[in-house]
């Protein structure tokens, strides 16, 4: 396992279309996070999972956004009826649970860049 992978790396879509991003975390990591980063800003927290349970969602996450992690492994982030303001880099990260050697460090994927025309 070489790290966190995200797919697709780039997505261009027209306003009003639905898009879905996939994240495959490091296999032994229980926690999975989604962040969104827009130009000139730092990553903003969207949501996180511990195994298959979605434990926290940001108020930034409108009802057009939904995230799942059905088997506690990979996760998907779907955006329905995309708007131009959804254009951003969507980052996925994973981490282990507290225990021996735990630092809280997040391991990030390379991101999925969304452009909504």
Pick the binder of other proteins from 35, 67, 79, 86 (CB under 8 A): 35
If binding is defined by CB under 8 A, does position 31 make contact with other proteins?
Answer: yes
d(CA 84, CA 92): 21
Q: How far is CA 12 from the centre of its chain?
A: 17
Does 111 participate in binding other proteins (rule CB under 8 A)? yes
Site for other proteins in 55-74 (CB under 8 A): 55-56
Exactly one of 1, 7, 83, 110 binds other proteins (CB under 8 A); which one? 110
Q: Which structure tokens are listed for 50? A: 């511990």
């Amino acid at each position: 396992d070489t790290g966190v992978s995200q797919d697709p790396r780039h997505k261009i879509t027209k306003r009003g279309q639905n898009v879905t991003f996939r994240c495959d975390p490091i296999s032994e990591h229980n926690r999975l996070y989604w962040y969104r980063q827009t130009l000139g800003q730092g990553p903003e927290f969207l949501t996180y999972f511990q195994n298959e349970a979605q434990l926290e969602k940001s108020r930034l996450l409108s009802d057009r956004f939904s995230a799942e992690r059905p088997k506690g492994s990979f996760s998907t982030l779907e955006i329905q009826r995309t708007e131009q303001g959804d254009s951003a880099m969507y980052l996925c990260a994973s981490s282990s649970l507290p225990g021996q050697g735990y630092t809280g460090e997040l391991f990030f994927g390379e991101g999925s860049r969304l452009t909504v025309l």
